[in-house]
């Protein structure tokens, strides 16, 4: 097998991964469209009508804004960020410049990359017609090698943006669920809060539960040193959020906000090790400050 064939195999695999990520982004955009319609319909349909008997809407600390309205705003903001991240996954807009870069050097010419081919003069492109077949095969092998690296970086970029979008989609779904819980009639305040607290508890424990399939199915390498360290740090804000949700009756809305904050940061921490190093300690320190203020 020649070098050109070997690099062609790698190129095909990376190109398939790129197309797969594009399909995932398209599915995310479709889900966001349906989610937006569902959210608007739910908020408008569950609002008390004029002819309905007067009801006492759930408010923050009995004096602030209505909780369903705030949840709807959070839902819209989360959907907007999810949509922006999904659209960004289609690819960066590109660097702003005043002219096209020169493509006269031989090592910048490519038989595969559309931008390189488009920038070549007709004479330069037609020169390949006079090349020997062996030289063309070597050139194509070099191009496959270079373009595989280029496409692999685009795949990594798309994965990061897709994870960002997924994190905000989860917040949008939680906000929509909380909107329905606090907006629906027929439930007392304690029942509504109990349902909301357990919903958020499940969402908070989801990242920690993901360790189990990773270890059982060997999806990662848990035997590596410090593999578990990020989850130890994550357990601090998760535990703080759960304790506040269930055992801090005087701080219900602060617990709800901190729980959503923790869910978002825990999902964004999957983007890159640098993101985990920056976000997880922030969530843990914020939780420690809240605990200090509550017990003060």
Predicted TM-score of the model (pTM): 0.82
* H helices, E strands: number in the chain: 10, 0
User: What confidence tens digit (pLDDT) does each residue in 18-49 have?
Assistant: 899 889 889 999 999 999 998 888 888 766 55
pLDDT of residue 108 exceeding 90: no
What average pLDDT score do residues 72-100 get? Answer: 83
Please say whether the beta carbons of 264 and 279 come within 8 A.
no
Please say whether the beta carbons of 262 and 283 come within 8 A.
yes
270-278: long-range pairs with CB below 8 Å, 24+ = 270/163, 271/160, 271/163, 271/164, 272/160, 276/230
What pLDDT is recorded for position 109?
75
Residue that wins the pLDDT comparison between 94 and 112: 112
Please say whether the beta carbons of 76 and 68 come within 8 A.
no
Interacting residues of 254 by C-beta distance below 8 A, sequence separation 6+: 244, 248, 290
Interacting residues of 175 by C-beta distance below 8 A, sequence separation 6+: 71, 72, 74, 75, 78, 260
What average pLDDT score do residues 45-62 get? Answer: 59
Q: How far from chain centre, in Å, is Cα 192? A: 29
Place of tokens 């994190």: 167
User: What confidence tens digit (pLDDT) does each residue in 268-296 have?
Assistant: 998 888 888 999 999 999 988 988 888 87
Burial of 94-132, coded b for 16+ CB within 10 Å and e otherwise, reads eeeeeeeeebeeeeebbeebeebeebbeeeeeeeeeeee
User: What confidence tens digit (pLDDT) does each residue in 151-184 have?
Assistant: 898 899 999 999 999 999 999 999 999 988 888 7
What average pLDDT score do residues 89-100 get? Answer: 69
Of 209, 291, 178, 288, the C-alpha closest to 244 is 291
Of 142, 110, 85, 98, the C-alpha closest to 264 is 85
């Amino acid at each position: 097998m020649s070098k050109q064939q070997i690099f062609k195999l790698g190129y095909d695999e990376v190109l398939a991964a790129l197309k797969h990520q594009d399909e995932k982004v398209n599915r995310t955009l479709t889900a966001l469209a349906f989610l937006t319609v569902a959210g608007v319909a739910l908020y408008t349909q569950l609002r008390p009508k004029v002819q309905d008997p007067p009801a006492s809407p759930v408010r923050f600390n009995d004096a602030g804004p209505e909780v369903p309205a705030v949840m709807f705003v959070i839902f819209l903001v989360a959907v907007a960020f999810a949509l922006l991240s999904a659209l960004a996954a289609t690819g960066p807009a590109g660097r702003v410049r005043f002219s096209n870069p020169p493509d006269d050097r031989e090592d910048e010419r490519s038989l595969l990359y559309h931008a390189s081919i488009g920038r070549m003069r007709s004479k330069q492109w037609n020169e390949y017609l006079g090349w020997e077949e062996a030289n063309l095969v070597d050139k194509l092998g070099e191009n496959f090698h270079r373009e595989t690296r280029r496409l692999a970086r685009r795949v990594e970029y798309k994965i990061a943006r897709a994870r960002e979008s997924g994190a905000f989609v989860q917040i949008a779904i939680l906000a929509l669920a909380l909107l329905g819980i606090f907006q629906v009639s027929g439930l007392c305040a304690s029942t509504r809060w109990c349902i909301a607290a357990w919903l958020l508890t499940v969402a908070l424990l989801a990242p920690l539960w993901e360790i189990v399939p990773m270890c059982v199915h060997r999806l990662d390498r848990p035997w590596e040193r410090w593999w578990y360290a990020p989850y130890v740090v994550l357990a601090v804000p998760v535990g703080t959020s759960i304790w506040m949700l269930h055992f801090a009756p005087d701080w219900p809305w602060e617990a709800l906000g901190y729980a959503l904050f923790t869910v978002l940061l825990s999902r964004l921490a999957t983007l890159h090790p640098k993101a985990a190093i920056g976000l997880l300690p922030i969530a843990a320190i914020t939780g420690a400050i809240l605990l200090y203020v509550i017990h003060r």
